[in-house]
């Protein structure tokens, strides 16, 4: 998924000038310089305003058009099918009675998830996206929608299953990502499951050492896996997404 960025006019001019130099000097063809360029951009993003905390930012994106990230495309539908296959791995006696979807967007995956749950709470930071999701899922009485900010709002409860799609890649700072991870894990019931899907970065970024350190692209899943209360169940990578299923320990190792 493309990462929307908030820049000032002066920042845009600086980046435009750097891109011209980059193109004219032919440095983009050299792997080291490509990686360095991406690393510097990542550091700038870490210091910039975090879009994950900004409702207005996402409302602006959704107000421009419906389905701004083209979730109807086949390459996007692939990860929905993969997610459902992951959920099929959950034992029948552990199937979700109470489920939470963080980042429901316009409700496309919500419809697929709802039939597996007795109740589903679908959350998103954008009120515009939620209005479209409510319309799409109007015939599903077990689904409730709520406007919610992972960075700022209190936990909505404890759930047997929590799914998070296309959310954590907006947490550019490793410390912010770990804080979001810890908050999410606290919402998973002991013995419950957590499904994470994130966008992959370009191949040369994925392969870099700094991407592992800063949790870029699929390395977001490595950060999630480091939580002591989680057990990794399954992981897969697709063309543009990476996905992992975790089970929360019945008893925390720190207790």
Domain assignments of the chain as residue spans, ordered by start: 74-248
Q: What percent of the chain has pLDDT over 70?
A: 83
Enumerate the β-bridge partners of residue 244. 196, 235
d(CA 74, CA 76): 5
CA atoms within 13 A on the CB side of 71: 19
End-to-end CA distance of the chain: 38
Residue found by looking up tokens 């421009």 in the block: 64
Write down the pLDDT at residue 1: 43
Architecture in CATH of 74-248: 3-Layer(aba) Sandwich (3.40)
Full-model pTM: 0.82
Residue-wise pLDDT for 25-34, tens only, equals 555 555 667 7
Is residue 239 predicted with pLDDT exceeding 50? yes
């Amino acid at each position: 998924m493309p990462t929307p960025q908030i820049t000032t006019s002066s920042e845009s001019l600086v980046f435009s000038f750097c891109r011209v130099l980059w193109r004219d000097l032919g440095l983009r063809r050299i792997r080291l310089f490509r990686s360095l360029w991406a690393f510097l951009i990542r550091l700038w993003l870490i210091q910039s305003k975090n879009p994950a905390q900004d409702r207005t930012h996402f409302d602006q994106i959704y107000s421009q058009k419906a389905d701004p990230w083209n979730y109807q495309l086949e390459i996007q539908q692939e990860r929905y099918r993969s997610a459902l296959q992951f959920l099929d791995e959950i034992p029948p006696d552990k199937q979700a009675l109470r489920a939470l979807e963080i980042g429901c967007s316009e409700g496309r995956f919500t419809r697929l998830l709802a039939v597996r749950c007795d109740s589903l709470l679908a959350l998103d930071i954008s009120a515009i996206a939620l209005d479209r999701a409510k319309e799409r899922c109007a015939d599903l009485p077990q689904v409730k929608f709520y406007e919610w900010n992972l960075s700022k709002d209190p936990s909505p409860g404890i759930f047997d299953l929590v799914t998070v799609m296309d959310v954590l890649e907006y947490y550019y700072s490793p410390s912010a990502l770990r804080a979001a991870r810890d908050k999410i894990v606290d919402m998973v019931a002991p013995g419950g499951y957590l499904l994470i899907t994130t966008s992959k970065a370009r191949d040369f970024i994925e392969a870099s050492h700094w991407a592992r350190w800063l949790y870029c692209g699929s390395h977001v899943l490595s950060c999630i896996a480091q939580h002591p209360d989680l057990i990794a169940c399954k992981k897969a990578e697709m063309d543009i997404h990476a996905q992992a299923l975790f089970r929360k320990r019945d008893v925390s190792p720190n207790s």
